[in-house]
Amino acid sequence: MSYQMTNLNTDQFITSDVVFSFQKAIADKFNMSYNFGTTPFWNFVSADMHMDLSKKYDSTYIDESFDFLVECEIEDRMVEMYDGIE
């Protein structure tokens, strides 16, 4: 199954292989050793995405997708953290 995400701010489509690369990179044990959300963590996630995707996509697309997916991931984690707290 293939799907796309759409960044409604830029109307950019983000394909499933890009989302998969991002998810794989944020779950990587080496990257997680730098603690989620730190600058080194995000630098390694971005580098992993570029290594996975640079033969298929240009760097601008990868960077813009990365930025949007970071925002989504942080928002999702904040919702999970505060879910049920009132």
Vertex 22 angle, CA 84 and 5, to 5°: 75
Residue 84 DSSP label: T
Q: What share of the chain is helix, strand, coil (3-state, %, to 5)?
A: 65, 10, 25
CA distance 42 to 36: 8
What does the mean pLDDT of the chain come to?
A: 86
Domain count, the chain: 1
More confident call, 55 vs 81:
55
**Long-range CB contacts for residues 32-39, cutoff 8 Å, separation at least 24:** 36/77, 37/74
pTM assigned to the model? 0.81
pLDDT confidence tier of residue 1, bands split at 50, 70 and 90 = very low
CA distance 64 to 68: 6
Confirm whether 30 is domain-assigned: yes
Confirm whether 85 is domain-assigned: no
pLDDT confidence tier of residue 85, bands split at 50, 70 and 90 = low
Confirm whether 86 is domain-assigned: no
78 pLDDT more than 50 = yes
Its domain, for residue 32, covers 4-80
User: What digits encode the pLDDT tens for the residues 3-29?
Assistant: 566 665 666 788 999 999 999 999 999
pLDDT at residue number 12: 74
